[in-house]
Structure 1
């Protein structure tokens, strides 16, 4: 299955004094894209919460290759990278068009989420409803040992 793509138009307030998207906005974009990725695969965030589960971001790594600026149309690609017993990792890529109209990757990210119970009882094994939405891992980046 191809990676999911979430479209974004860079808004004025997301751009810093250097004329590119301020780094903190990438995490907000990835959070939105994660929610839409799960929903595109049949799991709304509300349904996950109603089933007694939530996810917590526990680790993220970002590598920037190029900046994107105000008014640019980009997509955030999302793919399942890895599934563990109580956690899973998603890969994100910000993809933009270069001057020649070719799609380029401007940022790579891998984020690890831990499944938790909404009742406060702590981390949980990844339940079937989340496993089904994640599908088989198809990392966008190489897995590290």
Structure 2
């Protein structure tokens, strides 16, 4: 199951040459992650209410081009792998059809401050589609 988030590149996200500073790619994928969780029927507030706290374990970024001031970025989020206690999401950041960056983020299911297996119903939703 995929999700999509989009936004114009803001001036504050760029360096003096008008190129997006690298940390903002993680901000954009964080924005897209909310839509990805919601697309799976798992809005963040529902997870938290159940005592499930998906924590970022790791993120990797691989750039192929730059987004610039005045562009509109689109982030496509899709499930790459579901484990017993984790899920990896692939975020593809692009401007138009040009891929700028691929980010892979692994979230670990935490409950009570420690890693825990996904509840069966959550795991079922994560593996749908």
Q: Structure 2 length as normaliser, TM-score? A: 0.91
Deviating 4+ runs (over 3 angstroms): none
Gap regions ≥5 residues in structure 1: 98-102, 138-145
Provide the rounded CA distance (Å) in 2 between the counterparts of 1:126 and 1:68: 35
Corresponding residue for residue 103 of structure 2? 109
CA deviation after TM superposition for structure 1 residue 41, in Å: 2.6
The answer to whether residue 124 in structure 2 is matched with residue 125 in structure 1 is: no
Provide the rounded CA distance (Å) in 1 between the counterparts of 2:8 and 2:125: 26
**1:11–1:71: 8 Å Cα contact kept in structure 2?**
yes
Corresponding residue for residue 45 of structure 2? 46
Gap regions ≥5 residues in structure 2: none
What is the CA deviation profile of residues 2-58 of structure 1, one whole-angstrom value per residue up to 9, with x for unaligned ones? Answer: x32111111111111232111111111111111111112321100000011011111
Corresponding residue for residue 16 of structure 1? 15
What pairs up with 1:49-128 in 2 under 5 angstroms? 49-97=48-96, 103-117=97-111, 119-120=112-113, 122-128=114-120
CA deviation after TM superposition for structure 1 residue 70, in Å: 1.3
CA deviation after TM superposition for structure 1 residue 135, in Å: 3.1
CA deviation after TM superposition for structure 1 residue 136, in Å: 4.2
Structure-2 change in CA distance of 1:73 and 1:86 (3 Å) = same
**2:34–2:43: 8 Å Cα contact kept in structure 1?**
yes
**2:82–2:127: 8 Å Cα contact kept in structure 1?**
no
Q: Structure 1 length as normaliser, TM-score? A: 0.82
